[in-house]
Amino acid sequence: MEFDSIECVSSSDGIEEDEIPQLHPHIIRSQFSSSKTTTHKNNNNNNGSSILCDGNNGGIAIHPATSVHELLECPVCTNSMYPPIHQCHNGHTICSTCKARVHNRCPTCRQELGDIRCLALEKVAESLELPCKFGSLGCPEIFPYYSKLKHEAACNFRPYNCPYAGSECAAVGDIPYLVTHLRDDHKVDMHSGCTFNHRYVKSNPREVENATWMLTVFNCFGQYFCLHFEAFQLGMAPVYMAFLRFMGDETDAQNYTYSLEVGGNGRKLIWEGTPRSIRDSHRKVRDSHDGLVIQRNMALFFSGGDRKELKLRVTGRIWKEQQNPDEGACIPNLCS
């Protein structure tokens, strides 16, 4: 089997000025010299809600008909805004990330943004408690506004990134969705059972390019596992590496153990360990060498013959550690 090369394409996320959309603003006035209290109508709100801002003390009063969530939504990226929240001289707000992307120009009025902080809106956010944005996926937690972002970055209910190796696939979702996605879109082989046997052949083993493949997805113990095989340079030495990833969180991955074995000519090399969660990218696992690593000379020895062709047979199995209720010790539960 000839190995395919992988091509990665990167792109810039900068926004040109002509591409900045004309968006309806959230208007907050908090740092102006005027002592008058002004009322700004929200033209997008059918209920005619308004925001009252006092120029002297930065105070803010929000009519009940106005959603605070809307005020804290960046008009460019539509994500929630966190300090520092910036505003232009006309009171249009924007998050700090998008401020750089729009070249310091307000996307609403095109005026220069400068370095004005919207302290009033930042204080409003401090008083809020909001549910985790992954509530629809099962997370029941509620957090203060400024703690919510940290939780969501590590929430166990957050969607998973596509674990397919060798491409920058942008698909995200729960495990059932990703299993279907891998099968239908990436044409990954699916296998039921906890043992496996794969053979790898390369006609010119002297050429080792940085390449990675997802070989198979296994359905075992009601869970899914991804088997990977990679070829890359480790320093000056070409190596091959096989490892397993668990399609779930790290805490659940700790319940399983797997072994990989490769051999030939009366010799064999065995690896045993815990599968890594797909929360860790395949590159992170590879760079930590957390798997069966085979030096090229060893791989050619296992291949036999005149060493002009690489022939590797990798076998393995997955088992689940179970607690012995009588002795309190872990015993392996082998999949039938």
Pair of tokens at residue 97: 């990330």
Task: Summarize the confidence of residues 255-279 as an average pLDDT.
Answer: 93
Question: Are the C-beta atoms of 1 and 189 separated by less than 8 Å?
Answer: no
Percent of the chain with pLDDT over 70: 73
AA letter at 224: Y
Which CATH entry fits the domain spanning 160-320: 2.40.50.140, 2.60.210.10, 2.60.40.3950, 3.30.43.10? 2.60.210.10
Lowest model confidence (mean pLDDT) among 48-62, 98-112, 271-285? 48-62
AA letter at 187: K
Q: Confidence class of residue 145 from pLDDT cuts 50, 70 and 90?
A: confident
Tell me what pLDDT residue 82 has: 85
Is 27's pLDDT higher than 50?
Answer: no
Mean pLDDT comparison of 28-32, 162-166, 316-320, highest-scoring range: 316-320
Of the candidates 288, 287, 314, which has an alpha carbon nearest to the alpha carbon of residue 299?
A: 314
Task: Summarize the confidence of residues 224-234 as an average pLDDT.
Answer: 89
Residue 13 vs residue 271, higher pLDDT: 271
Tell me what pLDDT residue 200 has: 82
Query: Same fold for the domain at 68-154 and the one at 160-320?
Result: no
Task: Summarize the confidence of residues 36-43 as an average pLDDT.
Answer: 38
Q: Confidence class of residue 209 from pLDDT cuts 50, 70 and 90?
A: low
CATH architecture of structural domain 68-154: 2-Layer Sandwich (3.30)
Is 332's pLDDT higher than 80?
Answer: no
Taking the C-alpha atoms of residue 196 and residue 140, their distance in angstroms, rounded to an integer, is: 39
Q: What tens digit of pLDDT does each residue of 50-93 get?
A: 333 444 344 444 444 357 778 888 989 988 888 889 989 888 99
Taking the C-alpha atoms of residue 80 and residue 95, their distance in angstroms, rounded to an integer, is: 8
Question: Are the C-beta atoms of 56 and 35 separated by less than 8 Å?
Answer: yes
Task: Summarize the confidence of residues 26-37 as an average pLDDT.
Answer: 36
Question: Are the C-beta atoms of 32 and 38 separated by less than 8 Å?
Answer: no
Q: What tens digit of pLDDT does each residue of 173-207 get?
A: 999 999 999 999 999 999 999 999 888 887 776 66
Q: What are the residue ranges spanned by the domains of the chain?
A: 68-154, 160-320
Is 230's pLDDT higher than 90?
Answer: no
Q: What tens digit of pLDDT does each residue of 308-325 get?
A: 778 888 999 999 977 554
